[in-house]
Chain A
Amino acid sequence: MKLARIVEKLSLAVRTGSENLDTEVTAGYSSDLMSDVIAHARAGSLWITLQIHQNIVAVASMNELAGIVLVNGREPEEETIAKAEAEGLPIMVTQLPNFELAGRLYSLGISGVPA
């Protein structure tokens, strides 16, 4: 499923990288631990996290993730926005907690294990 379609279906607010919503999302990955994401998130995954620090941009780029969704109403820090814009990385925000966002994505057919 295309990222743009997910953004529309779940009413996510796009904060950065709006030019790159045409990416195909292959799986979902929920984690707030950087080392965990670096080790296990596959390319093309949509990353769900509470972390708002600029390090998330570096981690997402390195693993070629489709984008990041910040949950529980978290907003990215200024440095995070600047870096994401420079990289063209989509960052979305939602009021939903991780459990529900993952649940709704899963119900849309996004799996937790890449095909």
Chain B
Amino acid sequence: MFQARSFTKVQELVYEMKVKQVMTEDVITVRPETPMRQLREIFLRNRISGTPVVEGDFLVGIISLEDFIKWLYDREENSLIESKMTRDVECLFADEPLVHAVSKFEKMGYGRFPVTDRQTGKLVGVITKGDIIAGLLRKLEVEYIEEEIQRYRASHIFEDIVADRTRLVFEYDVLGQNFEQAGECSSRLKRTLKRLGLDPTTTRRVAIASYEAEMNLVVFTRGGRIVARVEPGRISMDVKDSGPGIADIEKALQPGYSTAPQWVRDLGFGAGMGLNNIQRCADEMEIISSPGKGTHLKISILTGDDGEAGKNSREAQSSSSDRQ
């Protein structure tokens, strides 16, 4: 399973990474008027088997060990590189995805490709198969380390903090009637939980519940506040507003029941599913509300010791929420 996963990861990376991220920038180059006999020394000293030929910054050809051997064989003592080099050079652009380079190596069978800048046409590097493999491994290692750091945060944050009780509290102020910005608080909360390294299923449940609650604040009130508490074993949210309040909570909880205006429905919300969605995501939910006095929504989502969501209790408890 691990193999399958890393294989797909590499496949993803060859599409995502660019040629310039893995190429060698410090390129050994030669000039067209360099005598062929100097090549041996250049190849040996730099441990290379081919090199681009440049005039100024521009690529004019490529000369390889094979060309050198052919020259030896032909015994043409005084020839210059320009008479032996390959002029029609296959190149790659620096901004091309790595997958282009991979398929070019496969198709043409060459050991290296010069890399040029798409705009200026200047030579900026050289890429070999070895560069590609080394580049991919470097990237995989970096991502692996980042993942490890994430995991560290998740598993140790509460162990490392020395206190009888530890909780992290995040507060977000929601603007009412502002559909443009709606969801921003939930987006920030979700990013925070991700950074804390909470498991993705729990994070998703908290995010969806928070987003629906935020939409309610935006649509029905002039604003309110979301307070999220992360503590060992649970994440709880308090969503408070001083808006119109809910007249009939039982009715508001019926799927499809909605008092949302048409403009909200046209935007894909207000179909009477919001509170039901929150209930589905939550292990416990309570609504305290009375007309004219605002609404206080309390939500709890349980997390196991290993960060795994309290799924078993979800179905059982979501229907037993307290109502006032």
Contact = CB atoms under 8 A, between A and B. Distances in A.
Nearest to B257: A77
A19 to B, nearest CB: 27
Interface string A59-102: 00000000000000010010000000000000000000000000
B263 to A, nearest CB: 12
Interface of A: 32-33, 35, 50-52, 74, 77
A52 B256 contact: yes
Contacts of A50: 271
Contacts, number: 9
A35 B266 contact: yes
Contacts of B271: 32, 50-51
B266 A77 contact: no
B309 to A, nearest CB: 23
A33 B266 contact: yes
A34 B212 CA distance: 23
Contacts of A52: 256
A15 to B, nearest CB: 15
Contacts of A35: 266
B311 to A, nearest CB: 21
A74 B254 CA distance: 12
A33 B271 CA distance: 11
A34 B319 CA distance: 32
Q: By DSSP majority rule, is chain A's interface helix, strand, loop, or mixed?
A: loop
8 contacts: A32-B268, A32-B271, A33-B266, A35-B266, A50-B271, A51-B271, A52-B256, A77-B256
Nearest to A75: B256
Most buried by A among B256, B266, B268, B271: B256
Nearest to A36: B266
A71 to B, nearest CB: 13
A74 B256 contact: yes
A72 B256 CA distance: 13
A48 to B, nearest CB: 16
A27 B32 CA distance: 69
Given A32-B268, A33-B266, A77-B256, 4 more contacts: A32-B271, A50-B271, A51-B271, A74-B256
B252 to A, nearest CB: 16
A65 to B, nearest CB: 20
A55 to B, nearest CB: 10
Contacts of A74: 256
A6 B210 CA distance: 40
Interface in B259-295: 266, 268, 271
Contacts of B268: 32
B260 to A, nearest CB: 12
A73 to B, nearest CB: 10
A72 to B, nearest CB: 10
B13 to A, nearest CB: 30
Interface string B238-254: 00000000000000000
